[in-house]
Amino acid sequence: MPVGTQASVKTVRNSDLLENNWQIILGNTYHLYLRPGADVIGNAGGLHRFMSWNRNILTDSGGFQLFSLSKLRKRSEEGYHFQSHIDGSSHLLTPELVIELQRTFGSDVMMVLDECLEQPSTRSRTEESLNLTLRWAERARNMHRGDRQALFGIVQGGAFPDLRRKAAEVLSGMDFDGYAIGGVSVGEPRNLMKRAVRSCIDHLPEDRPRYLMGVGKPEDLVDFVALGVDMFDCVVPTRNARGGAFFVPGGHINIRNARFRNDPLPVQPGCGCYTCRTYSRSYIRHLFKAREWLAPVLATLHNLHYFSVLMGRIRMAVEERHYTSWKKEWYRERRSFDPGIF
């Protein structure tokens, strides 16, 4: 899922997302509640109409943003008291308000409010936080049960496999429409991330979507689908694009590199995106060096296309039931490209 925190996938238009066949994008409750405000989105008739997007929208609750953006926050049993990172105004986000906001937004998938813990945290701190997250999940679930909008629970539990397993079991008992694994990809090493997913994913119901939050480098998608993950969101395709990083079969290249100064090839020869069909590496490098507005647009278009194609291949391999061999082949192909010389 491309990330459109503030109701816009950065630099691109809806038509670009439609062309790449994206079926669902992300919005963020914390951000949209602060700006433009739920009243504006409500007056527009919901988030879809506000941003003229007819396909699916998942709204994250904002637990992670409270953790990462709001310096002045105070957690209580009730919810989060915090000051806006925009204007310093005071707010209280409760599990119930987060559901109400997402109802106003009309998101297709709503997320419960959770607490995202700083890493590393002690076992007792993690357990205390998880128990609160589970009580909040229950309050959210009691608020909402319906057909039109799905509601997902979020597994926390930090670096402790038994806590994550317990979270998965307790949440499964609440019969959510889908389940997310949160609190990963917060700076921990990759093997810990894998352990966190492994410890809980098999304890989530197989007939509901399983969503790994904030994870999405190409190798992550390939590896975690193998572990049973169905959905991802990540700023990597769009944020890295704005820094000049283009994803290619061999990994990624930074187009600012001097070796592209006179390079007439498209960024990824054979790629079907507008950027690769139209412009050369030399030109795109110039746009980045000259800080032209078009530069991040062209990079975002390419990366979104790259990820869309990758996810399409992953889906096909899963459907055709040869994912393990496909995955091996993908890694082999990846190693065969040297992004340094191709």
Between 16 and 223, CB nearer to its own copies: 16
Catalytic entry in 39, 162, 233, 263: 233
Residue 92 to residues 49, 110, 113, 187, Cα–Cα distance (Å):
27, 19, 12, 28
Active-site residue, selected from the candidate residues 16, 60, 114, 223: 60
For the bound state, the minimum distance from the C-beta of residue 4 to its own copies, rounded and expressed in Å, comes to 9
3-state secondary structure of 179: strand
Within 253-322, residue ranges assigned H as helices are 274-278, 281-289, 294-319
Residue 155, helix vs strand vs coil: strand
Least separation in angstroms between CB 341 and its own copies: 19
Task: Provide, rounded to whole angstroms, the least separation between the CB of residue 305 and its own copies.
Answer: 14
Q: Which residues pair with 93 in a beta bridge?
A: 80
Return the closest-CA partner of residue 60 out of 131, 7, 109, 121: 109
In the complex with its own copies, which residue's Cβ is closer, 14 or 119? 14
Please report where in the chains the tokens 């998880």 appear, as a residue. 130
Nearest-approach distance from CB 264 to its own copies, in angstroms: 6
Nearest approach, Cβ of 338 to its own copies (angstroms)?
Answer: 24
| Residue nearer to its own copies on the CB measure, 37 or 146 | 37
What is the Cα–Cα distance from 292 to 184, expressed in whole angstroms?
A: 35
Find the shortest distance in angstroms from Cβ 101 to its own copies: 16
Give catalytic status of residue 177 as yes or no.
no
CB 39 within 8 A of CB 52: no
Q: Which is nearer to its own copies, 68 or 278 (CB)?
A: 278
Binding residues for its own copies, per CB under 8 A? Answer: 6-8, 10-15, 35-36, 39-40, 43-44, 50-52, 242, 261-262, 264, 274, 278-280, 282-283, 285-287, 289-290, 292-294, 296-298
Q: List beta partners, residue 59.
A: 27, 110
Sequence-distant (≥ 6) Cβ neighbours of residue 245 within 8 angstroms: 252, 253, 254, 255, 299, 303
Annotated catalytic residue 233: yes
Q: Which is nearer to its own copies, 198 or 289 (CB)?
A: 289
The alpha-helical segments, DSSP class H, found in 57-146 are 63-68, 95-105, 123-143
Cβ nearer to its own copies, comparing 50 with 224: 50
* Closest CA relative to residue 232, chosen from 25, 10, 62, 6: 25
Residues in the chain: 342
Positions marked catalytic:
60, 233
